[in-house]
Amino acid sequence: MSKRFYITTAIDYVNGQPHLGHAYEKVITDVIARARRSLGEPVFFLTGTDEHGQKVQQAAQAVGKTAQAYCDELAAQFQALTVALNLSNDDFIRTTEPRHKAVVSALLTKLHDQGDLYKAPYRGWYSWKEETFLTDKDRGPDGTFAPTWGEVTELVEENWYFRMSRHQGWLLDHLEAHPDFVQPDYRRNEILGFLRSVALDDLCISRPRARLSWGIPLPFDPDYVNYVWFDALTNYFSVPAALGDPGALEPLGAYAPKAEGRRPKVEGRSAGDEVRSPEAEVRLWPADVHVIGKDIVRFHAVYWPIMLHAAGVPLPHQVLVHGWWQKDGEKMSKTTGNVVDPLAVVRDWGVDAFRYYVVRELDIGPDGNWTDAGFRARYTAELANGLGNLVNRSLAMLQRYRGGIVPARSDELATEVLQTASRLTAQLRAHQLQAGLITIWGLVNRANQYVDQTAPFKLAKDPAQASRLDAVLYNLVETSRILAVLLWPFLPTTAARITQQLGLNETPDHLSAADWGGLAPGHRIGQPEPLFPRKE
């Protein structure tokens, strides 16, 4: 089997509840994943949680739980989010899983044996209360540390470092040679600017176990655990390796852990069945797209490629960087309460309304602004009155005038529909999701216009116009069918409902079905039902 299109989200740190930012990143990743499947490519979509580290250890302690129990609870919440958002992820990685830890250890052992890691002392100001080193940024205006830090003393601590700095020139060359490696371009330019102007330091990759126990031990020095980088970033690589992907195991050579042979287990999903077939050989690495937020660009565009390069592992093809959401023009903050709870929106408006709004409102890259009024406006105008009403009036007229029986084929809208599908295909390949929705709605609007121009409700009153009415009705229901196919990556539930109302059994999950003439004359459609009920 050929290599799958392998796409990942960032893994979420389990120090709080899932919020809009988490949900947004997962939705756009899911749309890309579904789009590639719809285009006929095998896909592997990975998401998960980042569970080690001091904050987790402290948070667990604060509520009197073990770190593991605390992580289990929060991981369950993030897994519930993937279900609520109707994500088609093929696996869900938790960094506390043995399959992940084994790969992290293998990678580090290889680097250690190669001499890419070294131990060195670190001297700094340490807050015993907060259990962290402070920097000059933490000093007050008078040069002292604020009392909130508690006792602060100068401390010397040995730690392990990764020889990152020596790869700076190589990375710069790589970025210059691969314009797609970081997208959008302005993010790439920022990284290029950074690499040209700043000398990279080596990366501190450990914490003494005495100070931080909740982490993956360094395989060559049991007094230390991993600090962030090789733990969190490696998740993208550890899943393919654990699944036995030769593309991931071969670079590790003798260091490779034994593959579990376990196939990804994600319950209750419909998409990507072929991906989960147990016989299929898993070929994922290198990853095609890492979807991340702008706050972690440097880790993914600098640290991660250098880590992989040093280990002799092929690099992912692209880091795709999205922006952040504001609420009503202001930063979302728990303390002020101006937050958007994605689960509440899904509950009140439906998962597809949520998916639609976030993809339609914000292009991948810039920051966006969530307003409840804007959400409501798009829901009403574009989903209910646009798409929903079109499908509803089209099916209702076929039921009323032709008893729900599809008439003879007519190709009046065929050209426009195929042009839409063609344009959308190109946009999906380019990850232009917002543009894709605009393209689809161009067809929605055209079809609504077509109803008024052809006025089937007038034709129905004149028996002499029967064949003309047939033609118009065919164009409308066939357009509705193809809309379901086009919408699938974005609004899978809605797409399935349209197909179902059309009385079809298949799932509209392949763009190849967007070919004109798929509805057979004589087919009996089902009953129309509003897709997006108007709210009050």
Partner RNA sequence: GCCAGGGUAGCUCAGCGGUAGAGCAGGGGACUCAUAAGCCCUUGGUCGUGGGUUCGAUUCCCUCCCCUGGCACCA
Positions in the binding site for RNA (CB under 7 A)? 136-137, 139-143, 186, 189-190, 193-194, 197-198, 294-295, 298, 366-367, 377, 381, 384-389, 391-393, 396-397, 400, 445, 448-449, 451-453, 455-458, 530-534
Considering the complex, state which of residue 346 and residue 498 has its C-beta at the smaller distance from RNA: 498
Decide whether 48 or 456 has the Cβ nearer to RNA: 456
Whichever of 76 and 146 has its CB closer to RNA, that residue is 146
The residue (of 261 and 530) whose beta carbon lies closer to RNA is 530
**CB of 121: closest distance to RNA in angstroms?**
21
How many Å apart are CA 270 and CA 37, to the nearest integer?
A: 12
In a 13 Å sphere around the CA of 330, the CA atoms on its Cβ side amount to 9
Closest distance of CB 114 from RNA, Å: 28
Question: What is the rounded CA–CA span in Å between residue 256 and residue 106?
Answer: 6
Q: Is 264 helix (H, G, I), strand (E, B) or coil?
A: coil
Least gap, CB of 444 to RNA (angstroms): 8
Closer Cβ to RNA, 38 or 392, answer by number: 392
Taking the complex as a whole, the smallest distance from the CB of residue 276 to RNA amounts, in Å, to 33
In 3D space, the residue among 82, 41, 34 whose CA is nearest the CA of residue 486 turns out to be 34
In whole angstroms, how large is the CA radius of gyration of the chain?
27
Sign of CA dihedral 252, 257, 259, 265: negative
Shortest CB 168 distance to RNA, Å: 13
First vs last C-alpha separation in the chain: 52
Could you give the CA distance from residue 470 to residue 464 in angstroms, rounded to a whole number?
12
Q: Which is nearer to RNA, 275 or 484 (CB)?
A: 484
Residue nearer to RNA on the CB measure, 209 or 497: 497
Nearer to RNA, 212 or 487 (CB): 487
Nearest distance from C-beta of residue 427 to RNA, angstroms? 16
- C-beta closer to RNA: residue 141 or 463: 141
Give min distance, CB of 172 to RNA, in A: 15
Least spacing, CB of residue 188 vs RNA, in Å: 11
**Closest separation between CB of residue 141 and RNA, Å?**
3
Residue 486: strand, helix, or coil: helix
Q: How far is the CB of 415 from RNA (least distance, A)?
A: 18
Q: How far are the Cα atoms of 127, 129, 144, 281 from residue 147, in angstroms, in the given order? A: 10, 10, 9, 58
H helices within 217-330, ranges in order?
Answer: 229-232, 235-242, 246-252, 297-298, 304-311
Nearer CB in complex with RNA: 251/323: 323
Tell me how far apart the alpha carbons of residues 481 and 517 are, in angstroms, rounded to a whole number. 10
Decide whether 14 or 444 has the Cβ nearer to RNA.
Answer: 444
Q: Which residues contact 95 (CB under 8 A, 6 or more apart)?
A: 11, 48, 49, 50, 51, 52, 101, 216, 231, 232, 235
Structure tokens at 82: 């993937």
Q: Could you tell me if residue 434 is left (phi over 0), alpha (psi between -120 and 50 degrees) or otherwise beta?
A: alpha
Beta bridge partners of 289: 7
Contact (CB, 8 A) for 245 and 275: no
DSSP β-bridge partners for residue 117:
162
Rounded least distance, CB 350 to RNA, Å = 11
What's the 3-state SS for 379-423?
Answer: HHHHHHHHHHHHHHHHHHHHHHHHCCECCCCCCCCHHHHHHHHHH
